[in-house]
Structure 1
Amino acid sequence: MRNNDGMENRISFYQHSGAIVTASVVTGISAWVLWQSPLLLEAISWQCLILGLIFLISIPALKEKHPDVGRYAFYLILPITFALSIRIQIDVFFIYSIIWIAYVPTYLPRSLAWWSLLGVALAWFGIRITFSQETNVFAKTILESTFHMFALISSIATQDSIKANDKTQQLNRELLATQQLLSDASKENERTRIARDLHDLLGHHLTALTINLQVAGRVSDGEAKKHIEQCYALSKLLLNDVREAVSTLRSMPVVNVKELLSIATRDLPRLSVSLEVQETINLDDVNIAETLLRVVQEAITNTLKHSDAKQAWVTMVDQGNTITFKYSDSGSGSKSLSLGNGLKGMQERLDSIGGTVSFSDQPAFTIYAQLPKTAKENGPKSSIERSS
């Protein structure tokens, strides 16, 4: 499975590189146009500032560590562009606002994107009608607005494509993890069948043979009795071996928890998950394993939807009859934590198997849970068990 971060990083690189190169070309063209003008130095100074601001919003690491810096840089580009256009009348300056509008979906809610497009168009129309001597101002503004609209639509389409790919990758991970659970459940069913057959068939016949040998030993004498007693001892030993084999088959762990969670947490978009799972944690109850898998998946989904975290940690400790589970991320947290449908569903899953869970959002989003190694008798059957 390909890492979705690779695709997103390439798209971001192309977008940022295109913005910087385009702004540099505009600066060069304006310098060429104003080569003999006393406004040359002023124009280059303002454009270098715009270029620097575009560079700031193009640095992914800066956006992650200091998101406010990139946000302020984004807000400053447009007013500086308008001020520059009022001061120096050169047609190519509208390209800076095209670059700005391409970043709108990144920094503003989708609901404000089209209002931003309308605001930019009205601002250019007002600047030209007020400060320039151009003719056909309305037609020119409409034409330039189509360029802005194309940039905005392309940016929105790119973000939607990334989100769709994220969703596909998420469904793929869930499918692989579910396939692993289904495979483990099938192995459990097969071992149970073999153990039952050994107990019901071979065990039954060995028990009957042992009883008959015991009776034969009582009614025989001499050398024959000696051999019958040896056969009787061997049949008892074999019967004990069968019972031990049946017990071993029934008690073998079904699910390797670390392997299961590794499948569910690898290649996540914008999030790296560290697993600290004791090697001794192996579950023989598919229902518990499925609940644990769904808890981890919901925790990751919650982080991706509501947090800017880039790192998450899953810790599991074997406590004998129970497992202690902790999930935390590197997000900034919030003042209040409200339980949505996902977290409420997580509570219901754990309640159904006799587990407990609590949530915290300070200093970052954290989940504490305790799970039994065997689900309570009246708990619902796993969907994996039902499907198998």
Structure 2
Amino acid sequence: MKIISFFNIERASASVTWLFVSCSALYYAFAKYGASSHRPWLIVAVVVGIAACLSVITRRDMTLPKWRIPLLIAMYLLAVGGLFLLPYSYLAIFLVIWSALLPYYAGWGTCLVVSVFAALPLGVIHTFYWQDPHAWLTAALFWTFNLFAMMMSNVAIKEKSAREKSEALNRQLTSTQQLIHQAGRQDERLRIARNIHDVLGHHLTALTIHLQVASHKANAAGQDEVKAHVDQCHSLAKLLLSDVREAVSDIRENAPLDWQQAVRALFKDLPRPSLQLSIADNVSIEDVSTADILLRCVQESLTNTIKHTQSAHLYVTLEKNQEGYSLTLQDEQVPTAKTIQLGNGLTGMSERIEEAGGSVKFSFNKHGFSTHILLPEPL
């Protein structure tokens, strides 16, 4: 089932349309039949029922997910029922509103077929119940309205889907660029460290050896003053060599990737969920492939959180233990499902982790959906 996500202006326009149609229907019903008749009160029940269905079906969040399809069917039945209560064809506008909702819950082919059934009751009821000779022409006109409403909703759905995919790809590209940039800087630091160690360290080692030889020769020649200067130079050379080795070690130790920066790039400019990131102090990721695998897992969890929940936060916790890296991803949507169905995204995540020698576990807890990943360090 596709998740409906009306913009506020779209929901407001549907509400205003419902209000005008309902008020006019109630006015004519009470004026024609009076308060003592049951028809006006049945109209009240119909318009209130349609409003209740509309308010749930068009909610942004996924509250009452199991009720949305039944409510959609109930809204159709109420709209059809209203056609029996008053002889005014404009009440079929309720069916036009219903037609605009249908593409969010059914495919385009199904919508085309159902559009006929959305207009058919108007022709049947007004022809045989209200004896309207022009009912079928009116029904045909309303069928075009229904079809147009479905088409516009379908276009809006496609545009929204394309926009979400584009934004997701852009965030993925940005985070990947962060990793590539950091990997380039890491390689450059390691290259410099190796050059310092191999070239400067080699020459300093040779210099200390030569100074040590010179010190022995000066001592054998009885040149104590020269020996003192040579010994001093030898001590300075050894100190310099020690400083070089310390600097090389420091460069190597500070070469890890800034994984946190890449993760934050995934959440940039997102209205929700906000990132709650926790990285243990002992975590240091130097392997680009490992960083990329963990980043892709966060990305997939983020995509699922946006698509399937209304969670305001996504908790990302990265730790390191004897088994390797431990990544926990947790949303805060109270679960309604009892079982976990692995879609393409979660299946791809599992395959990616298993190929790297790790493991992944999906589960529901009291907070929501949780993903726990263990990824060994590369050899």
Report if TM-score (shorter chain) is over 0.5: yes
Equivalent of 1:355 in 335, 354, 358: 358
Which residue of the partner structure matches residue 225 of structure 1?
227
Displacement, 1:367?
2.0
Secondary structure (helix, strand or coil) at the match of 2:325 reads strand
Which residue of the partner structure matches residue 89 of structure 1?
87
Looking at structure 2, the residues matched to 124 and 228 of structure 1 have their Cα atoms a distance apart, in angstroms, of 110
Looking at structure 1, the residues matched to 188 and 315 of structure 2 have their Cα atoms a distance apart, in angstroms, of 35
**Residue identity opposite 1:371 in structure 2:** L
Looking at structure 2, the residues matched to 270 and 123 of structure 1 have their Cα atoms a distance apart, in angstroms, of 42
In the TM superposition, 1:188-267 aligns within 5 A as 188-220=186-218, 221-267=223-269
Whether the aligned pair in 1 keeps the contact of 2:212 and 2:231 (CA below 8 Å) is: yes
Looking at structure 1, the residues matched to 310 and 115 of structure 2 have their Cα atoms a distance apart, in angstroms, of 30
Whether the aligned pair in 2 keeps the contact of 1:256 and 1:281 (CA below 8 Å) is: no
Whether the aligned pair in 2 keeps the contact of 1:252 and 1:284 (CA below 8 Å) is: no
Which residue of the partner structure matches residue 332 of structure 1?
335
**Residue identity opposite 2:59 in structure 1:** P
Which residue of the partner structure matches residue 312 of structure 1?
314
Alpha-carbon spacing, 1:194–1:255, altered in 2? closer, same or farther (3 Å): same
In the TM superposition, 1:52-71 aligns within 5 A as 52-53=51-52, 56-57=55-56, 60=59, 63-68=61-66, 70-71=68-69
Which residue of the partner structure matches residue 33 of structure 2?
38
Looking at structure 2, the residues matched to 198 and 207 of structure 1 have their Cα atoms a distance apart, in angstroms, of 12
Secondary structure (helix, strand or coil) at the match of 2:103 reads helix
Equivalent of 2:295 in 293, 297, 302: 293
Secondary structure (helix, strand or coil) at the match of 2:361 reads strand
Alpha-carbon spacing, 1:95–1:33, altered in 2? closer, same or farther (3 Å): same
Equivalences, count: 365
**Residue identity opposite 2:144 in structure 1:** T
Looking at structure 2, the residues matched to 354 and 46 of structure 1 have their Cα atoms a distance apart, in angstroms, of 61
Looking at structure 2, the residues matched to 215 and 353 of structure 1 have their Cα atoms a distance apart, in angstroms, of 53
Looking at structure 2, the residues matched to 95 and 347 of structure 1 have their Cα atoms a distance apart, in angstroms, of 48
Alpha-carbon spacing, 1:53–1:359, altered in 2? closer, same or farther (3 Å): closer
**Residue identity opposite 1:190 in structure 2:** E
Displacement, 1:90?
0.8
Alpha-carbon spacing, 1:350–1:142, altered in 2? closer, same or farther (3 Å): same
Matched, 1:187 2:190: no
Equivalent of 1:368 in 353, 363, 372: 372
**TM-score using structure 1 length:** 0.84
**Residue ranges of structure 1 left out of the alignment (5+ in a row):** 1-7, 377-388
Matched, 1:322 2:324: yes
Alpha-carbon spacing, 1:145–1:188, altered in 2? closer, same or farther (3 Å): same
Alpha-carbon spacing, 1:112–1:269, altered in 2? closer, same or farther (3 Å): farther
Aligned residues with identical type, % of pairs: 31
Whether the aligned pair in 2 keeps the contact of 1:309 and 1:331 (CA below 8 Å) is: no
Looking at structure 2, the residues matched to 201 and 345 of structure 1 have their Cα atoms a distance apart, in angstroms, of 46
Displacement, 1:251?
1.8
Which residue of the partner structure matches residue 14 of structure 1?
9
Looking at structure 2, the residues matched to 76 and 322 of structure 1 have their Cα atoms a distance apart, in angstroms, of 54
**Residue ranges of structure 2 left out of the alignment (5+ in a row):** none
Alpha-carbon spacing, 1:85–1:181, altered in 2? closer, same or farther (3 Å): same
Post-superposition Cα deviations, 1:196-219, rounded to whole Å, max 9, x if no partner, equal: 110121111111211111111111
Matched, 1:141 2:139: yes
Whether the aligned pair in 2 keeps the contact of 1:20 and 1:51 (CA below 8 Å) is: no
Give the superposed CA RMSD.
2.8
Looking at structure 1, the residues matched to 68 and 357 of structure 2 have their Cα atoms a distance apart, in angstroms, of 47
Looking at structure 2, the residues matched to 360 and 57 of structure 1 have their Cα atoms a distance apart, in angstroms, of 28
Post-superposition Cα deviations, 1:287-341, rounded to whole Å, max 9, x if no partner, equal: 2111110122223334455x34525332222326722211233262644445455
Displacement, 1:245?
1.0
Secondary structure (helix, strand or coil) at the match of 1:283 reads coil
Looking at structure 2, the residues matched to 24 and 346 of structure 1 have their Cα atoms a distance apart, in angstroms, of 48
Alpha-carbon spacing, 1:82–1:351, altered in 2? closer, same or farther (3 Å): closer
Displacement, 1:161?
1.3
Which residue of the partner structure matches residue 21 of structure 2?
26
Alpha-carbon spacing, 1:351–1:85, altered in 2? closer, same or farther (3 Å): closer
Looking at structure 1, the residues matched to 341 and 15 of structure 2 have their Cα atoms a distance apart, in angstroms, of 41
**Residue identity opposite 1:285 in structure 2:** D
Whether the aligned pair in 1 keeps the contact of 2:89 and 2:138 (CA below 8 Å) is: no
**Residue identity opposite 2:229 in structure 1:** H
Displacement, 1:19?
0.8
Displacement, 1:284?
1.9
